[in-house]
Amino acid sequence: MRVRDLLDVLECRVEAGAAGLDNEVKGGYASDLLSDVMAHAGEGDVWVTVQAHQNVVAVATLVSLACVVVAGGVECEPEAARRAEEEGIPLLRSRLPAFEVVGRLYVAGIRARPGAD
């Protein structure tokens, strides 16, 4: 599955990083704690969070995530969008609550990587 395939599934829009819409999604991770994501998310994961600041993009870049989904209709900070555009990390925004986003990802076949906490 590619990031672009998530747009309809999650009822989301691209806030930045459209150049990465063809990134392959290999798994998923949900957390709002940046250190947790750095320690446990894996390359190619879609990350579901309600955080929408520039440090989210820094973590996504560090871990080589496929994309970040900001759930709950939270507005992305302009600096986060700028940074996501520079890094080519798709920053997606969904009005759906994080619980619903994760449920839809699961139904679409996205799973946690084996060994992920």
Residue type, 96: L
Query: Which positions ≥6 away from 87 have C-beta within 8 Å?
Result: 17, 57, 60, 61
Question: Residue 115: its pLDDT value, please?
Answer: 63
User: Is residue 32 a contact partner of residue 50, using CB atoms and an 8 Å limit?
Assistant: yes
The predicted model scores a pTM of: 0.96
33 inside domain: yes
Q: Kindly state the DSSP code that residue 2 receives in the 8-state scheme.
A: B
Question: Residue 114: its pLDDT value, please?
Answer: 74
> What CATH code is carried by the domain that includes residue 89?
3.40.1390.20
Question: Residue 117: its pLDDT value, please?
Answer: 56
Please state the domain count of the chain: 1
61 inside domain: yes
Residues of the chain predicted below pLDDT 70: 115-117
65 inside domain: yes
Q: Which residues pair with 16 in a beta bridge?
A: 91
What domain range includes position 86?
A: 3-107
Distances (CA, A) of 112 to 29, 46, 70, 106: 6, 10, 18, 9
